Amino acid sequence: MKLNEKIIELRKSKGMSQVDLADALNLSRQTISKWENGDSSPDISNLSALASLFGVTTDSLLNDQETACTGSYPAWLDHLPSFMKSMIARYGWLYGVKMMISGALFTGMGCLARFMFRKMIFGTFASMDGFDPFSEFDVTAWSVCGTFTSVIIGFGIVIMIIGAVLAYTLKKWGAEKLK
């Protein structure tokens, strides 16, 4: 991008007219117009004033090649940490409640699976006549299924407890921060 194109782009990005730029540099509007048309170029002192006015370096104005991003970021990112902190203070406890609900669902699924496995393996009491040739198989199968469902139930209970502690802690912390 040539110098005249850069001047136009920077002026428009600042929301300035040619007259505004001319007033800021103590020049005439016609001089700015000549720069932007490419009929003339700013001298060294005006180039330095342009760079400081637009917040760029003189190198970036004079360089015809596109420069890579200098690592600048949008201004709203400066406020993001405080915004996130205020949102966690206000609504963070809901995450703990969601964890408690998830833990309750896991516990419920574990209990349901335990009940269903028991029915599948042992059947109902009405069907038992005192003799079961597969009793050894039943005990082995129940041992595996019982362990599996116990792990699911235990995991659900742990998640519920962690969720309750998290909800209580974040609610208390949020109340202190919002005062």
Same domain flag for 131 and 163: yes
Query: What mean pLDDT is predicted for residues 127-141?
Result: 60
- Tally of CB atoms within 10 A around 120: 11
How high is the pLDDT of residue 98? Answer: 96
Distance, in Å, from the CA atom of 66 to the CA atom of 35, rounded to the nearest integer, reads 20
Same domain flag for 85 and 137: yes
Contact 3, 62 (CB under 8 A): yes
Kindly report which listed range (21-25, 52-56, 63-67) carries the lowest average pLDDT score.
Answer: 63-67
Higher pLDDT, residue 129 or 81? 81
How high is the pLDDT of residue 167? Answer: 94
Same domain flag for 171 and 83: yes
Boundaries of domain holding 119? 79-177
Q: What percentage of the chain has pLDDT greater than the value 70? A: 85
Distance, in Å, from the CA atom of 12 to the CA atom of 150, rounded to the nearest integer, reads 68
Q: Is residue 74 domain-resident?
A: no
Q: Which of the four pLDDT bands, split at 50, 70 and 90, describes residue 178?
A: confident
Count: domains in the chain: 2
Contact 28, 18 (CB under 8 A): no
Distance, in Å, from the CA atom of 144 to the CA atom of 61, rounded to the nearest integer, reads 74
Same domain flag for 128 and 168: yes
